[in-house]
Amino acid sequence: MRVATGLLAPAAAVALAIGCDQETITLPEPPMAAETQQLVALYDMPTATLNVDNIQQTAADARARLQEIQPDWFPAVVSDLLTRLRARLDDGSLPSDPASTPKARRAQITLAANIHRICAGWDDPASAPDEATNGAIDLTAIIDTGQLNPEAWATATACRVRVPPASSGGAIVVAPTVRNVTLDGTLIIYLLAPVPPTSADAQYLVVFNGSITIGDQTKSASFDFEVDGTSVKFRVPAGGGDAIVTVGTTLGIQGANASFSCDLTALTCQSSG
């Protein structure tokens, strides 16, 4: 059945396919499931060997990579999508924690949820939902015999995003630099915690492949990062493996053997353990 909802801003629809018997519904297969799980493990256990001889180059590579993953707006797009999913799951009293075990002696629901979200667009204030102009994102999540699969996936099609988002009113003291962004591509989202009720609760890994247009400049993009609330981590090749970089007032760079804290501007680094 198709359920319209006012919970998605500016507009969305949710399709749910439900069966009490697993044989009554054929669930879609999560894409690149094994590769995504390996990537999650890599974030937990980085493989790079870091030392004073390669940390400066690693920091420079991390700063360049930071510009590609767009941490000032891209995580917000994904987190917002997940909070919309959480609202729908809660409305249906459906499981939202992939780590939870289904309760015994209860009929276990098998479900495929497809969220269709019209993107907010570039207007300020935001205009009425218009998919033809603003594009959309389609998300798929599955519940198999009462348990939420940690992997969801989405497709962004000509999705227009205004950075920063359209204002909600009030005086503006300093006008920020506005960027008109268009997002096209696929996203794999792996939940590291329950589907978040708010962006501050979001914990997930995301893999993006596609293109990002900012203004009149379009670039192909392929990257992954982890979000833990307001913290963003990403990986960068270094020392024969991958280092994990945490974004903050400084760049925290963690390898298999050592960790460093690096100044973003000067790219000076100090060992932090």
CA-wise closest residue to 188 among 42, 45, 100, 81? 81
- pLDDT tens for the chain, 273 residues long, are 222 222 233 334 444 544 444 455 688 999 999 999 999 999 999 999 999 999 999 999 999 999 889 898 999 999 999 999 999 999 988 999 999 988 766 667 888 899 999 999 999 888 888 999 999 999 999 999 899 999 999 999 999 999 888 764 444 444 567 899 999 999 999 999 999 999 999 999 999 999 999 989 999 999 999 999 889 999 999 999 999 999 988 899 999 999 999 998 888 999 987
Q: Please indicate, yes or no, if residue 92 is contained in any of the structural domains.
A: yes
Range of the domain at 16: 2-44+70-232
User: What total number of domains does the chain contain?
Assistant: 1
Q: Please indicate, yes or no, if residue 247 is contained in any of the structural domains.
A: no
Instruction: Look at the block and give the residue holding tokens 């044989």.
Output: 23
Q: How far apart are CA 188 and CA 154, in angstroms?
A: 7
Which residues make beta-bridge pairs with 17?
Answer: 112
Q: Please indicate, yes or no, if residue 202 is contained in any of the structural domains.
A: yes
Q: Please indicate, yes or no, if residue 129 is contained in any of the structural domains.
A: yes
CA-wise closest residue to 188 among 209, 159, 160? 209
Q: Do 125 and 166 touch, CB atoms closer than 8 A?
A: yes
Parallel/antiparallel/unpaired status of strands 217-228 and 179-191? unpaired
Q: Please indicate, yes or no, if residue 18 is contained in any of the structural domains.
A: yes
Torsion of CA 214, 219, 220, 225, to 10 degrees: -50
CA-wise closest residue to 188 among 136, 159, 152, 137? 152
Torsion of CA 156, 87, 43, 207, to 10 degrees: -10
CA-wise closest residue to 250 among 260, 263, 259, 233? 263
Q: Do 25 and 18 touch, CB atoms closer than 8 A?
A: yes
- Other CB atoms within a 10 A radius of the CB of residue 191 amount to 23
Q: Please indicate, yes or no, if residue 267 is contained in any of the structural domains.
A: no
pTM (predicted TM-score)? 0.87
Q: How far apart are CA 191 and CA 209, in angstroms?
A: 18
Report the SS3 class of residue 254. strand
Q: Please indicate, yes or no, if residue 226 is contained in any of the structural domains.
A: yes
Q: How far apart are CA 116 and CA 134, in angstroms?
A: 13
Q: How far apart are CA 215 and CA 240, in angstroms?
A: 37
- Which pLDDT value is given to residue 14? 44
Q: Please indicate, yes or no, if residue 250 is contained in any of the structural domains.
A: no
